[in-house]
Amino acid sequence: MLASNPTLIYWTLAILVLVSVAFLVGWRFRRNAINRRAVARTQPPAESRSWHQLDADQTLTELEVTETGLETSEALARLERHGPNRLPEPETRGPLMRFLAQFHNVLIYVLLAAGVVTGLLQHWLDAGVILGVVLINAAIGFVQEGKAEDALRAIRQMLSPHAMAWRDGRLTTLDAADLVPGDLVQLQSGDKIPADLRLLRAKGLQIEEAALTGESVPVDKVVGALPLETPLADRRCMAYSGTLVTHGQGTGIVVETGAETEIGRISALVSGVEQLTTPLLRQMAQFGRWLTAAILALATLTFCFGVLVRDYTAAEMFLAAVGLAVAAIPEGLPAIMTITLAIGVRRMAGRNAIIRRLPAVETLGTVGVICSDKTGTLTRNEMTVSRLLTAERAFTLSGTGYDPHGAILLDGESYATQQDPVLTEALRAALLCNDAALTPAEGEWRVEGDPMEGALLVAGIKGGLDPEMLASELPRTDLIPFESEHKFMATLHHDHVGESFIFVKGAPEALLEMCSRQRVAGGTADIDRAFWLERMEGLAAQGQRVLAIAARPAERHATDLVFDDLGRDLVMLALVGLMDPPREEAIAAVEVCARAGIRVKMITGDHASTAMAIAGQVGLANSNVVLTGRDLDAMDEDTLRRRAEEVDVYARVTPEHKLRLVQRLQESDRIVAMTGDGVNDAPALKRADVGVAMGINGTEAAKEAAEMVLADDNFASIASAVEEGRTVYDNLKKAILFILPTNGGEALVVLGAILFGFHQFPLTPVQILWVNMITAVTLALALAFEPPEPGVMGRPPRNAREPVLTPAFLWRIGYVSVILMIGTFGLFLWELERDASIEQARAVAVNTLVFFEIFYLLNSRYINAPVLNRAGLTGNPYVLLAIGLLVLFQLAFTYLEPMQALFGVAAIDWTVWVRIVLVTSSVLFIVELEKWLTRRRRLAD
């Protein structure tokens, strides 16, 4: 009786108080640690260095470097001295702290308390087993969490930044970690500054320094030295590591690297390790906490009921209540969900989709619209010039890819370029107004830089020009870089007698506005806009990308090129038509998306006719209608919202249009994934539900803003990521659907025993612990490896608002729990009826429960699809392995003497196994029947 053992009550109460205090202290400790980190983030750097007061030459002298950059040998020596240009790793918990953190969990507190009280009751064996299980559980959690964190760290490293620096007199792409003080670094819009730099050249250079100063308005950069006392935020001749170039170009010399940079010195600024969590995991953790509280309350009630109503002793009931708590709390669930998530993220990385923010994994499964760029994402970005049209002649170019072997043809005949001065001038302009380089690599030709500019180089070489010789004859003095807002690029050159020339290439509409004349044999003539527009339409309608080339003389000895210099008097030289065929995989992926209920929209900076032709080739749903940036400008938001639903092709758009489109689509309740590569795409990427940046051609700014980065820039990888996203969510649901009925069944067995007044329970707490632990590391873990279900891309996207625990879900959890309870209880009683010992009956109960789980695991592989087929039963090798292992464990549990002694069981004979298998396989058929009825009902609806 309760009253007969007051000491036990005191102990129990004292331990409960201790558990609560420990929990609160642990919670406070975590909060404080988080707050401390937040405070560290806002603290200003200690003293700052004075590089800003040196002028460019002094900086070069101080760092012992010339204007052609460092030699590799010197750079290596400096790397040895200064160490890699990496920020110190954020403080992470050491292994000991990580191990101890495994104990910070309500269930573990309950178990520890139970272990202590069991010890006080002198049940030494039980106490020992409970404590042993707690330790093993912590060890498993420790190892699994470590693996998940390692996987994420490896994925993050796939995104390590690069920098363009001069080494041995050549511009080279380097790992940002290899930069050393003295390196000369080239900057362009979208770059993330890789180290602290003293700027030597700035051309319209603007840098957003929010990461350092908190100020999000970009700062205009200059090169002049500044007084010593200038505060950090005003040092306009410096560019600081971690900040972003939002506009223009520049060159800087590395002055500090790694921990010595301004950002490195505010050590806490390094983004911390991301928590392994998503909204669903948080939702389940919350649910788990409520469930635990409810179970503890139920256990207390049961304790009182048993002692007061059923005449159990307090000691008996204490063990029963602990058994109930242990049975009902789904302790393995959070770990399994984390692992499932980590496996999903790794699988996505394997398919070229690198997740930067974990919640995106879940959002991917709800995506209903993918807005994709055209060039390089839907098309191959392997360009070839196929046509060149001057005012008087239409040339064709032979040859494929970047191989410069090929010729310029007129009416099908090879044509010598020098015969036509207009053609020669157009090709010269195309080679000079160009930043790409062509290099032979492993038997083929590779382009460094923009593929379109690479194609122009190839065209020039086919026309017999030599890019290097041309560049030395007409050196470049200045440029206006290409930006998608103005859609052209212009360069200024001079020859050796001081004459200057401007060459421009860009979108034909943009250039036609700037031209008043056109080049003809022997001079120039008034521009015939209608002629050029008609030619442009003709090329674009074949899906070719069209570029116009223009030029004009500039003032002698001009050294600067600004927008106003271009004026409206350019001379149109030629139109160039470039082929960029669609990617085969993209065509297939667009089809997959259509089946998966996902609308694909092409949003491109290219011309409307080109966009429509390519949209038709890749198979977009509605490729006959196109809206241009100009159309969008003329629309009010309501009209745009309506039109955005139906129209799938958008051409000549700017990044601002992308943002508007995302917003309108989201207002129509669409979950939107949007791709982007430029610095100006960042707002649209941030706004989209899943921002997708290009890994190869994307800027660092776009990558920073995105949730996901495509390692291969390929549209097909987005479709794969959606498939994996849907799979991860399915697998998380499967884990819940599998684990909860196990706990439900066990709890019902214990509750039933108490209600019916059994003095010998079918399951003891340590046996329940065994079942939970052993099945969590085998069966539930196998579900985390489930491959995508066959129909995963054949159904519409998940409704983002739908809760996980739907009535259908709860129904399955409920009735499977009841089946488990009836079967376990029934076979336990059967054994007792047959005069078996309690140890044997309990061995039967435990094995029944485990075999129920084995069969139910097969059901759980598919949520609603049938599994009674070859793929369903054998499709996941991990499941088969887990089942095999589990059977071995159960044999050891039942027949090895030390295990029998530890767990209080005895050997059973083989006829009993037959009964167990027959009874437990019922769950497989009953759940399949329920799935079948559900599918039939859905079909009828």
Active site residues: 373
Residue range at the interface with ligand ATP (CB under 6 A); choices 410-418, 450-458, 627-635, 723-731? 450-458
Q: What's the one-letter identity of residue 82? A: H
Q: Is residue 794 helix, strand or coil? A: coil
Site for ligand ATP in 12-51 (CB under 6 A): none
Tally Cβ neighbours within 10 Å of residue 233.
13
Instruction: Please tell me whether residue 487 binds ligand ATP under the rule CB under 6 A.
Output: yes
572 vs 420: CA distance, rounded Å: 15
CB of 779 to ligand ATP, least distance (A): 47
Looking at beta carbons only, is 275 or 622 nearer to ligand ATP?
622
Least separation in angstroms between residue 376's CB and ligand ATP is 6
Q: Are strands 515-520 and 626-628 parallel, antiparallel or unpaired?
A: unpaired
- Say how many residues touch ligand ATP, by CB under 6 A: 19
Q: Residue 777: what residue type?
A: V
Q: Are 505 and 488 in contact (CB under 8 A)?
A: yes
| 450 binds ligand ATP, rule: CB under 6 A | yes
C-alpha to C-alpha distance for 622 and 486, rounded to whole angstroms: 28
Under rule CB under 6 A, which residues in 135-154 are in contact with ligand ATP? none
Stretch that binds ligand ATP, among 220-228, 372-380, 401-409, 638-646 (CB under 6 A): 372-380
| Contact region with ligand ATP (CB under 6 A), list: 272-280, 504-512, 568-576, 754-762 | 504-512
Q: Tell me the closest approach of the beta carbon of residue 377 to ligand ATP, in angstroms.
A: 7
From the list 197-205, 387-395, 505-513, 619-627, the region that binds ligand ATP by CB under 6 A is: 505-513
Pick the closer one to ligand ATP by CB: 620 or 769: 620
Taking alpha carbons only, the member of 62, 59, 78 closest to residue 200 is: 59
373 binds ligand ATP (CB under 6 A): yes
506 part of the interface to ligand ATP, by CB under 6 A: yes
Nearer residue to ligand ATP within complex by CB, 114 or 456? 456
Nearer to ligand ATP, 482 or 729 (CB): 482
Which tokens in the block code for residue 138? 């912590």
Q: How far apart are CA 436 and CA 434, in angstroms?
A: 6
Q: In the complex, what is the shortest distance from the CB of residue 453 to ligand ATP, in angstroms, rounded to a whole number?
A: 6
Among 202, 315, 507, 784, binds ligand ATP (CB under 6 A): 507
Rounded to the nearest whole angstrom, what is the least distance from the CB of residue 890 to ligand ATP in the complex? 58
Q: Which position's Cβ is nearest ligand ATP? A: 605
- C-beta of 573: minimal distance to ligand ATP in Å? 14
Q: Report residue 159 as tokens.
A: 């995104």
Q: Which of 247, 356, 462, 505 binds ligand ATP (CB under 6 A)?
A: 505
d(CA 740, CA 749): 14
For residue 449, give every residue at least 6 positions away whose Cβ sits within 8 Å of its Cβ, in sequence order, or none.
435, 436, 437
Q: Which residue among 56, 193, 320, 489 contacts ligand ATP (CB under 6 A)?
A: 489
Q: Are 663 and 653 in contact (CB under 8 A)?
A: no
Which residue type does 851 have?
Answer: F
Work out which of 331, 606, 789, 831 binds ligand ATP, going by CB under 6 A: 606
Sole window of 130-138, 368-376, 780-788, 917-925 interacting with ligand ATP (rule: CB under 6 A): 368-376
3 state SS of 517:
strand
Question: E strands, 555-695, where?
Answer: 570-579, 599-603, 626-628, 649-651, 672-676, 690-694
Instruction: Pick between residue 604 and residue 742 the one whose CB is nearest to ligand ATP.
Output: 604
Judged by CB under 6 A, the stretch of 41-49, 334-342, 601-609, 846-854 that binds ligand ATP is 601-609
* Residues 6 or more apart in contact with residue 325 via CB below 8 angstroms: 107, 110, 114, 295, 296, 299
The reply on whether position 488 binds ligand ATP by CB under 6 A is yes
What would the two tokens of residue 258 be? 């790694």
CB of 773 to ligand ATP, least distance (A): 53
CA torsion, ordered 142, 147, 150, 152, to nearest 10 deg: -110
Q: Let me know: does 364 contact 718? Beta carbons within 8 Å.
A: no
**Angstrom distance (rounded) from CA 456 to CA 739:** 61
Q: How far is the CB of 398 from ligand ATP (least distance, A)?
A: 23
Choose one: 179-187, 371-379, 592-600, 790-798; the region binding ligand ATP (CB under 6 A). Answer: 371-379
Nearer to ligand ATP, 482 or 903 (CB): 482
Q: Determine the Cα–Cα distance for residues 847 and 890; give it in Å rounded to an integer.
A: 7
Residues in region 530-589 near ligand ATP by CB under 6 A: 545, 547
**Residues 6 or more apart whose Cβ sits within 8 Å of residue 122:** none
**Cα(656)–Cα(12) distance, rounded to whole angstroms?**
65
How far from 853 is each of 457, 735, 773, 778, 846, CA to CA, in Å? 66, 12, 13, 11, 11
State yes or no: residue 628 binds ligand ATP (CB under 6 A). Answer: no
Say if CB 775 and CB 330 are below 8 A apart: no
371 is a contact residue toward ligand ATP (CB under 6 A): no
Residue 623 in tokens = 């490729």
Nearer residue to ligand ATP within complex by CB, 506 or 762: 506
Q: Are 493 and 474 contacting, i.e. CB atoms less than 8 angstroms apart?
A: yes
Nearer to ligand ATP, 183 or 453 (CB): 453
CB of 542 to ligand ATP, least distance (A): 15
Nearer to ligand ATP by C-beta: 126 or 509? Answer: 509
Query: Residues 544, 604, 717, 840: which binds ligand ATP (CB under 6 A)?
Result: 604
Residue 453 binds to ligand ATP (criterion: CB under 6 A): yes
Residues in the chain: 941
**What's the rounded Cα separation, in Å, for the pair 433 and 422?**
16
Judged by CB under 6 A, which stretch of 294-302, 499-507, 723-731, 738-746 contacts ligand ATP?
A: 499-507
Binding interface with ligand ATP (CB under 6 A): 373-375, 450, 452-453, 482, 484, 487-489, 505-507, 545, 547, 604-606
